[in-house]
Structure 1
């Protein structure tokens, strides 16, 4: 039986169109930054503001945020679970530095993923949407 993990995830692009991805400590795959809502989070964007500040030390801008959709796939780090993500494209000011549970920060070209270990949610659902834009 599968459990459901609900999260909010961010798509942050640089001027070259690359997408910011992160790898958590002990994880083998890259994924979108973001996380689970806390009880004090007012809405999805508040969750992203908090998570991006805690995990990457960056400042997210609510204005211009664009909802990309709700996506789901088997969870990358929790066997037997499905992750369901509300995904937003947002703008943020760096520097983007790995902190808290994040071990690696990497800018990835969504059209050139060969050889990169990327979570299924990102590889199969989120990044293909960006390539078509």
Structure 2
């Protein structure tokens, strides 16, 4: 039986509709900014905290929209299933690499779906829904 990991992530778009993807230190897959919930922390509070810590952007709760919850295999942890609460926002502010983030990039969702270094949950579930598929 797989381990269950509950996370909150941000589908962050720029005005051109590109999605921000990050790669954490000592990992190979790109994913959305976000991370594990702290004990007694709501998914919304977790995503706001993680985005601030990882890429230096601050959002008020009313600036983010709950997009849904997706489940799928973890990209970087064997025998682990992710339960991901996904929030969305658009920004004109420039993110900066902080905390455990090693690399980031803005890509169109269609281009991101074609890459083999995108986390499976993002590539197979979140991006298709973003593209209306």
| TM-score, normalised with respect to structure 2 | 0.90
Aligned residues between the structures: 132
What residue in structure 2 maps to residue 111 of structure 1? 110
Structure with a larger share of its residues in strand: 1
- Counterpart CA distance in 1 for 2:44 and 2:89 is 9
What residue in structure 1 maps to residue 7 of structure 2? 7
Residue 81 of structure 2 is aligned to residue 82 of structure 1: yes
Say if 2:15 and 2:91, in contact at 8 Å, map to a contact too. Answer: no
Structure 2 stretches lacking a partner, 5+ long: none
Report the alpha carbon displacement of residue 93 of structure 1 after superposing the two structures with TM. Answer: 6.0
Q: Which aligned pairs between 1:1-133 and structure 2 lie closer than 5 A?
A: 1-39=1-39, 41=41, 43-92=42-91, 94-113=93-112, 114-132=114-132
Say if 2:20 and 2:107, in contact at 8 Å, map to a contact too. Answer: yes
| TM-score, normalised with respect to structure 1 | 0.90
Structure 1 stretches lacking a partner, 5+ long: none
- Counterpart CA distance in 1 for 2:26 and 2:12 is 23
